[in-house]
Every structure is written in structure tokens, then in C-alpha cells.
Structure 1
Amino acid sequence: MNQIVIAPQWYGAYKKGPEVGALRLAELFEMGGLSEQTLISVPNVGSGEDHCMPFFDAIDKVNSNICDAVFSALSSGNKVITIGGDHAISWGSISGVLKHNPEVGVIYLDAHGDCNISERSASHHIHGMHMAYLMGFGEDKYVGRYTKNLLPVENILYVGARSLDPYEVELIKEQGISRITCDVINSDMIQVLDTISDFMSRFKQIHVSLDIDVLDPSIAPGTGVPEVGGITEEALHEVLDFILTKSDQVKSLDLVEYNPLLDIEERTDRVVQKLVKTISSL
């Protein structure tokens, strides 16, 4: 049975809209028959005094509850889909997965690396930091925040990342983190699927984290940080279909960063409707 965890959080980039997207996605999943849903409460608070980590207290509470919900679902033998909200919710969802199984592989489909740290980030948007803390980099108070189990760098495959901050470029290069670029995805799908297959073959359990902005903004403009040069909708579905056919491995998935307030002519809404149908087969 699939369980849905809904986290209508927008504090990760303190930009309104992702919370609306989360509720819209929840509605679409319910219409598709996935009615076992848990709504995570998002507190209404100020930004706090730490200008490097604004809204951390709210994000911390949300992610602690997400971690518990994901861990509980997996421990009960269920699969779990976590709906954002912004991508900072994956700090909690991936922590919950790691708490359940520290040897999980993570396929991260996103235009960004989300592996910055507070002292190096120019934007100080927490939705661009969680992967670093999950891996064990950055300040001790953020590392191992929800589980002592860290995400090894060799257990990550970035798909579609094309806009990386200086610290992220350094980290990915120095740590040898695997990455499939958009150019390869849009031109050589055989190579892409071979790389994904090789990665997945190393793990008994896979977590997929999907950010809408992996798509080119001409296809899905309704997202908070669009980046040109993204992948096509056809390529995304081909990748997802391939990953999800190995349903014995894929136990959890995130779907994040849909912002209906930024959509144009409901283009992104049509995209997410198709994605929900695909993901519901998990």
C-alpha cells in the first residue's frame, strides 16, 4: 500500500506558492485512488534571528515530523510518497528513509544540487542545503539532525543538475558524486538508462527525489527557481518509467516545488497530472 505524506511548506525559499502546489498534488493523488494521506502541520512563524538559516525553526519542526511519518510508513511495510512544498522537505523524508535503511541509494532529479551550506550560500535558502547536511558536511548542529545515519556520497546519483553554486561544484568534484547532465539525458537515453541501471544494481532499496524544476521551464514554468536547459517531459517520463519498473527496490519518492502561483496557462498543472499518474504506480 502507498501512503502519502503531505508537507505544504514554503519556508525553504520563503516564497509563497509551493504550499498551494502540495495541496493540489495531494488532491490529484486522492483522485487517483491514493487516499491514505498524512498532512504535516506547518507552523506560522517568523524568520528568526539566524540570517544564514531563516525560518529554520519551522523547517526543523516540519522535517522532524516528516522523518517520523516516513520511517513509520516504511517500517510498516508500506511505500511512501512525500509531497512538497519546497525541496527542504526532503531533509526529513530522506532522513526517515535512512533511519529505516542506511544503505539506501538516492536518485535526485533536480536542476540544482541542494548541497550548499549556510555559511557559503548566497541566497540562504534552506531548500538548497539539505543534501550537504544529509551527507555529513557543514555545521555539526545540522548534520545528523533527524537520524544518526548519514547518506554516503557514493549512494547519490544526481540527474539533471545544471545550476550549481561554487561550494556545490567543489563538493561534487572533490567527493566524486555521480551526476548525469541534461545534455546526455536529452541526447543519449541508452547511456542514461545504463548509468541508472548500474547505480540501482548496487542497492536493495532506492529513494527517488523529484523536483519539478528538472524540466525545462518552457515545459513547466510553475516552479520557484526555474533554470533553462532542462530535460524534456518525454525524457523525464522515460527515466521515471525505467526506475519505477523496479518497484521491488523503489520504496519511497518525493515530489516537490510545484508552484501554481507561478504557472503559465496551467502548463505545469498538466505536467504534474501526468506525473501523478506515473508515480501512483509505485
Structure 2
Amino acid sequence: MKKHISIIGVPMDLGQNRRGVDMGPSAIRYAGVIDRLERLKYKVEDLGDIPSPTPGRNQKDDESNLRNLNEVAEGNINLAKTVSDSFSKGHFPLVLGGDHSIAIGTLAGVSKHADQLGVIWYDAHGDLNTGETSPSGNIHGMPLAVSLGIGHEKLTQIGESGPKIRPENIVIVGARSLDEGEKELIKEKGIKVYTMHEVDRLGMSQVMSETIDYLKERVQHVHLSLDLDGLDPEEAPGVGTPVVGGLSYRESHLAMEMLAEADIITSAEFVEVNPILDEKNKTASIAVDLMGSLFGEKLL
């Protein structure tokens, strides 16, 4: 792990239609993320929040079927530049969301510095929809597809035009809610997915061992995109799109601990914390706990 961490808040809630996730970065900071990382001997620089455009709520373009397209694109353009600048300084970009549409900007920024960028997508959802396949038009369900170069050009051209990642360099962990179009795309592109069936059957230890070995053979840089709805809503209630039957707190800690031991993560984001739906900031606190494990925190 790089010893200098740049924290970048993105209070973006425009990629979906449920209010509250824009307060996620503040909730995570309030839960003590900076103190936690500094206790682990990291130098932490909080770059503040990326300004989020504020359009009339839920503007949906009839032609593209995308909600708040221009505003989401603008926010991600700004994020991509900040992430890229941080990475070019040799820092570890740690992005706090905000809804998962911000991964478009994060991956656009990181990919400028990695010809072969690996991605671990820790999420209940595939986020592989497009305007044609999305039932809702919510862009927070599209960032992985956009990063593959699939989707509206205002999104795929952020940073640099074209794909930011390759399908063979992606591993999705914890999936349990996939739309039909996403299933077809996964099969077409050969994307590696560990659904909850595989997690239950194999155990998290084997899932992460296989994930780490798989990516180590292919890439030098690996980005972790962790959506808190990857965890079961009993564990992490403060998310906008909860799906029952998810990953446990302990499984998630083990996953982060194994990634820390493997020392392959070079950038990360933690997204979809919604304090309005939370219980006493429980979900933000879990996010900070998982960051602690990711950055090497141990019991002994």
C-alpha cells in the first residue's frame, strides 16, 4: 500500500432517485476514517468534496433513458481529474460516495496510469446496464458498463475516449441482483462473477484467494469498488438499494484482510452510504471498519 492517502469525497446523488446518499462522505468522515487511517501510520490528506451539480430533481432524458445525464457527466469529469492528479503524485486515491455512478470518474482517473487495470466490484449488483437495458434509467446501475466503453458517449468519453478497463480484468463479488441485460453482457464478455451462490458454496476465503490469484496474473494495479449494499441489509441498513441474502460483516472483513495481505489494491472507493436510511451511522461505521482492514489493521 502507498503510505500517502488522498481522501476524495463525492456527495453525488444524481445517479439514482433516492435522496440521502449525498451525505455519505460526511457520514464516513464523522465515523472517524481519518483518525483510523492515521493510527495505521498513513499520511492522510483530505481533499474535501468534489462539487456536485444540482439540477431539478430526477430529470430524465426521454431519448437516452438516462437520469441527470449531463450533471452526472460533469461531476465525474471533475472527479476523474482529481483522482488522476492524486495517483500521479504517488498517492492512494480513497474515494467516498455518493452513489455508485461516481465509479465512472474514479476508473477514468485511475486508468490513465494503468494500461491493464484490474477491478474488484464488491456489490450486490452488476452495474452493467445501459440506457437500453436499464429498467430505471439510473446511472448508478451503469458505471461498470460505461467503464467497459458501453453506454452513452458523454459518459464513455470521460477522461479519455473509449474503454477504461477490459472485461477479463474484472471480478464481481457478492452479486445477487442482476437484470437480464446484465446477465447477457456478463456471458458475452466473459466477466468473472462470484454470486452469493459461489460465496456460500466455496466460502469467502477461497473466493478471495481465487480473485487475488486471477488478477495477479493479469495486472499490476487493482481498484476496489465497494458498494455497501454488497453486505446484507441486516448488517448495513443505510443503503439505497438493499438486497437480502448478502455478505456478512465478518466475510467482508476477511475479504479486506486478504486484500491487505496480498498488497494488490492501489485505489479504492466506498459508495452508497445513505445516512437517512441508516441506524445511528451504523453503515458508515462499517465502511470505516472495512477500510481499516483493507489498510492493514489487525487484532494482534
Pair in the same fold by TM > 0.5: yes
The aligned counterpart of 2:111 is 98
The aligned counterpart of 1:64 is 77
TM-aligned CA distance change 1:276 to 1:194, over 3 Å: closer
Instruction: Check whether the contact 1:186–1:235 (CA below 8 A) recurs between aligned residues.
Output: no
Q: Which moved more, 1:208-217 or 1:25-34?
A: 25-34
Gaps of 5+ in 2: 39-43
Distance across 1 between alignment mates of 2:53 and 2:111 = 25
**Identical columns (%):** 33
Q: What is the number of equivalent residue pairs in this alignment?
A: 281
1:31 aligns with 2:35: yes
Residue 187 of structure 2 aligns with an amino acid whose one-letter code is K
| CA drift at 1:149 | 5.1
1:211 aligns with 2:227: yes
1:11 aligns with 2:14: yes
TM-aligned CA distance change 1:266 to 1:3, over 3 Å: closer
Instruction: Check whether the contact 2:103–2:225 (CA below 8 A) recurs between aligned residues.
Output: yes
Instruction: Check whether the contact 1:186–1:231 (CA below 8 A) recurs between aligned residues.
Output: no
Residue 50 of structure 1 aligns with an amino acid whose one-letter code is D
1:244 aligns with 2:260: yes
Gaps of 5+ in 1: none
The aligned counterpart of 1:254 is 269
Distance across 2 between alignment mates of 1:149 and 1:137 = 9
Instruction: Check whether the contact 1:29–1:35 (CA below 8 A) recurs between aligned residues.
Output: no
| CA drift at 1:59 | 1.1
Residue 99 of structure 1 aligns with an amino acid whose one-letter code is K
Tell me, what secondary structure is at the counterpart of 1:245? helix
Distance across 1 between alignment mates of 2:92 and 2:285 = 25
Tell me, what secondary structure is at the counterpart of 1:102? coil
Distance across 1 between alignment mates of 2:232 and 2:255 = 15
Residue 225 of structure 1 aligns with an amino acid whose one-letter code is T
Instruction: Check whether the contact 1:5–1:37 (CA below 8 A) recurs between aligned residues.
Output: yes
1:97-176 matched pairs, under 5 angstroms = 97-148=110-161, 150=163, 151-176=165-190
Q: Which moved more, 1:258-267 or 1:76-85?
A: 258-267
| CA drift at 1:148 | 2.8
Q: 1:168-191, CA deviations, whole angstroms, 9 ceiling, x for partnerless residues? A: 010001111001122332442342
Q: Which moved more, 1:207-216 or 1:149-158?
A: 149-158
Tell me, what secondary structure is at the counterpart of 1:36? strand
Instruction: Check whether the contact 1:20–1:259 (CA below 8 A) recurs between aligned residues.
Output: yes
1:196 aligns with 2:211: yes
Q: 1:41 aligns with which of 31, 51, 56?
A: 51
